Structure 1
């Protein structure tokens, strides 16, 4: 998830000098998307934490996962003002803050992705195996989610550096070699596709089960399930495709592909943050419909 501008966000993976940020339509687009994400996602996730967890239609496991999702999304969104400022001006907070915030963003985004995956599996188990759930291993599941998220975030700690060879100081990813860059991009691609594969399998299987069960067979529920998968796909797939484009550009030593990658990665990375805004609505609403029996 190199995600946002800076590949995932703040730490842009480009290591070569470029034009001032404001001169780039890519940067302006990323700033606009990030600003909207913060303004909508921040209060949205707080609302989930305050109100949604008290509703009786959510099981204990679903409540915990919903809370974990809201917290991880909120942590990610809280860093956006700093990244927005950096995109428009410069990084003035030092190297330690650069590394800490880069890790926090990656960890929260991976935590969100893994939680979404766990929610999908939980819903599938609840509907298909009515009396079975992840209840007994709830605490271990949450601990595992954050442990895996932290492990996947280690590269951000290593490669986040301050660059002074640009018009302004920036917190960016600095790779020691092309191999290191490819490995980082590939790890993000594999993590993203692995999560999407599990989610798609769970919901496709659930969709088949719902169609076979008259109690669950209603168009509204089908639309809700479909919207979750489609939203995840369209907000994440462009970013993952850009990562694959970057890998291809490096592997083929193709300047044209690299230019295309560098010019578009910020805006596609910014789109992944929209997921943090939509998660509260999609998952709270879907939980109510899918768990109502």
Structure 2
């Protein structure tokens, strides 16, 4: 998420151990660009198809349908600007400061919306299956998206505030520019703690569902059950490594450990790209659930 375009390979001077060597260009830039290109080509038509056709949603509760639709819309918003990010990632930023801040803010909003939607989906399934509770009436279900997107926009404010267009010897980049290490650590911790909290809630809900695996209510529709579980597990596997690297970065900054920061620099790009893989895989999960 953070510094996902050309800023993936450049950091604030207070924490940058040095630009990547030419030998590492493939792993630092080319591989993440290829992963993001794959996400765009696969995820955009897939999410559009999900939004239009809403496959087999008649068996879902109305709340689940709303959350599934919001998930597909969030993923689509996240993936649509990827060609622009890929181009500027490889060639440099030429669109100015306003576009830099706005596109970064939209990217964060869509990623946080996807994060919170999957979290709410897991909680809703947990309450419905484990405690046999249906939450929210029809009006409440619709209003649920208002606080969700409000929280999303608030969490995304750091991307809007500290994203800057920076000139350096290799060109011009749109990336985070922190005024101090304390500001950098605060931004990183906010993002990381939010992500880890969401992952913990999802994991707790999934464990609760697993313990009730023999309940007939959970297997009223096996296809939808597999779909929900697949979304949650994929969400966990693809997002957890990203947050682990963020923790390593905070530790490297606080400990002033150049070798740890270099490890973060070498691994961050690919792991950040995996977050977008999550957004492109959700339509495939729908197709897999409906295969039979």
**The TM-score by the shorter chain falls in which range?**
0.7 to 0.9
- Greater alpha carbon shift after TM alignment, 243-252 vs 193-202: 193-202
1:47-94 CA distances to partner (integer Å, 9 max, x unpaired)? 110011673112221121111111111001011111100111011111
* 1:140-219 alignment, distance < 5 Å: 140-211=143-214, 213-214=215-216, 216=218
Q: Within the alignment, does 1:15 sit opposite 2:12 as a pair?
A: yes
Question: Using the alignment, how far apart are the partners of 2:212 and 2:77 within structure 1?
Answer: 35
Return 5+ residue gaps in structure 2 as ranges: none
Q: 1:54 to 1:215 in 2, by over 3 A?
A: closer
User: Deviation at 1:175?
Assistant: 0.6
Decide whether the 8 Å contact of 2:6 with 2:92 is kept in 1: no
> 2-side partners of 1:238 and 1:186: how far apart?
15
Q: Give SS of 2:175's match.
A: strand
Aligned to 1:98: 100
Runs of at least 5 residues in structure 1 that lack an aligned partner in the other structure: 289-293
**1:284 deviation in Å?**
7.8
How far is the alpha carbon of 1:37 from its aligned partner?
0.3
Question: C-alpha displacement at 1:128, in angstroms?
Answer: 3.1
Report SS of the residue matched to 1:164.
strand
Deviation at 1:279, TM superposition (A): 2.0
Counterpart contact for 1:99–1:156, Cα < 8 Å: yes
Structure 1 residues 43 and 19: alpha-carbon distance in aligned structure 2, compared to 1, 3 A threshold: same
For the aligned residue pairs, the C-alpha RMSD in angstroms reads 2.6
Distance 1:89 1:270, change over 3 A: same
* Residues 242 and 261, structure 1, Cα contact 8 Å, conserved in 2: yes
* Matched length: 282
Check whether the contact 2:238–2:275 (CA below 8 A) recurs between aligned residues. Answer: yes
Deviates more, 1:48-57 or 1:75-84: 48-57
- 43, 46, 55: which one aligns with 1:44: 46
- What's the offset of the Cα at 1:210? 2.3
Which of 248, 252, 273 pairs up with 1:249?
A: 252
Provide Cα deviations, 1:127-162, integer angstroms capped at 9, x if missing partner: 234452333421221011100110000000111101
C-alpha distance 89-28 of structure 1, shift in aligned 2 (>3 A): same
Q: What's the offset of the Cα at 1:203?
A: 1.4
Q: Match of 1:271? A: 274
Match of 2:58 in 1: 56
Report what 1:262 is aligned to: 265
User: Per-residue CA shift, 1:93-125, capped at 9, x if unaligned?
Assistant: 110000000000000000000011111112222
TM-score, with length taken from structure 2: 0.88
Partner of 1:291: none
